[in-house]
Amino acid sequence: MAVLEWIRLLRLPNQATAVADVLAGWLIVSQARSLQWPAPAAWWAIAAGACFYAAGMVLNDVFDLDIDRAERPERPLPRGAINAGTAATVGMTLLTAGAAAACAAAFVSGFPAVALVGAGLTAAVWLYDRHAKRTPWGPGVMGACRGLNWLLGMTAAGGPTAPHEWLLPIGMGIYVAGITLYARDEAGSIRVPTLVAGAVLMLAGLVAAAGHTVLLADAGGGSAWLTGGRLPSWLLLWAALGTSILLRAGLGIVDPTPGRVRTAVGNGIGSIITLDAVLVLASCGEQWAIVVLLLLAPFLFGRQFVSAT
């Protein structure tokens, strides 16, 4: 039971989304085509991304302890299942480990930018959990965390190497900012205008991220799958995925109950893995896209025991 409580505190299934972001960023910049074992820098970057995400989850609950006692009493800290002091120590240790892993990625890759991204993530995670979460800047800071997570993988491969590659961290960052805004009132009095604004941000992020593939195809780049004249098919696939995400968000707007909103938020978070896989499909082909998509397995299994939000 103690292990399960820590899994809940860490939101362990959600770590798969952080891994998917870093791996996708590394694959796309390195232009991986055939399956091969990723370079050591990629593994250090993945470790950094997972540590930063875990630190953010733990410190989120540490700083929200008083609020969670009223709004989310089922969580491990307000129930007393885990000591708050111990959780704070673990959170800070994970934050430090993330920064150290980013420095290791910079050292083995020879690209100092990875360490700078790690420093940015350290600051962004602390800023969001400690200060920004309940301010108007909160969704933007959370979106920056996700964009920086993408950049961990991209800089470990020496990128971004082309202007359109910046649309990936920017687009996915905006998308996550939208999820964060949409989820802002899930435990309290839900405001429909906030839900609408969150859904609009999610749509904007999806459009921005899709711009990378469009520009990649226009330049004659991408995987053999994409260069075979399949840009329309890719756009249809992206639109179908985006529509399914936004339809769930729309149900929460039409029926703004906590259950509906949490379902939409959980779906939006889990869809990050699928979105990453589709982006990898365009740049690296089917094999690597399947590898990224396989990260859905631990996420979906873990959600049977742990809430995504």
**Confidence class of residue 225 from pLDDT cuts 50, 70 and 90?**
very high
Whether residue 15 has pLDDT greater than 60: yes
Q: Which of 14, 134, 9 is nearest to 74 (CA)?
A: 9
Cα 44 to chain centroid distance, Å, stands at 17
Residue position matching structure tokens 């050292």: 107
Whether residue 50 has pLDDT greater than 70: yes
Is the pTM for the entire model greater than 0.85? Answer: yes
Share of the chain above pLDDT 70, in %: 98
Averaged confidence pLDDT in the chain: 93
Question: Domain 10-302 is of which CATH architecture?
Answer: Orthogonal Bundle (1.10)
Whether residue 5 has pLDDT greater than 70: yes
The reported pLDDT for the residue numbered 134 is 86
The reported pLDDT for the residue numbered 188 is 57
pLDDT digits (tens, 9 = 90+) for 235-288: 999 999 999 999 999 999 999 888 899 899 999 999 999 999 999 999 999 999
Contact (CB, 8 A) for 202 and 269:
no
Of residues 107 and 67, the one with the higher pLDDT is 107
* One-character DSSP codes across the chain: -HHHHHHHHHTGGGHHHHHHHHHHHHHHHHT--S--PPPHHHHHHHHHHHHHHHHHHHHHHHHTHHHHHHH-TTSHHHHTSS-HHHHHHHHHHHHHHHHHHHHHHHHHHT-THHHHHHHHHHHHHHHIIIIITTSTTHHHHHHHHHHHHHHHHHHHTT---SGGGGHHHHHHHHHHHHHHHHTTTTTS---HHHHHHHHHHHHHHHHHHHHHHHHHHHTT-S-HHHHTT-HHHHHHHHHHHHHHHHHHHHHHHHS--HHHHHHHHHHHHHHHHHHHHHHHHHHH-HHHHHHHHTTHHHHHHHTTTS---
Read off φ and ψ for residue 34, nearest 5 degrees.
-95, 155
Read off φ and ψ for residue 114, nearest 5 degrees.
-60, -40
Residue position matching structure tokens 């509906």: 260
* Cis ω before 160 (30° cut-off from 0): yes
pLDDT digits (tens, 9 = 90+) for 275-296: 999 999 999 999 999 999 999 9
Whether residue 186 has pLDDT greater than 70: no
The reported pLDDT for the residue numbered 254 is 93
Position 247: which residue type? L
The reported pLDDT for the residue numbered 74 is 87
Position 268: which residue type? G
* One-character DSSP codes across 21-33: HHHHHHHHHHT--
| Residue 285 burial (CB count, 10 A) | 20
Stretch among 35-49, 147-161, 177-191 having the lowest mean pLDDT = 177-191
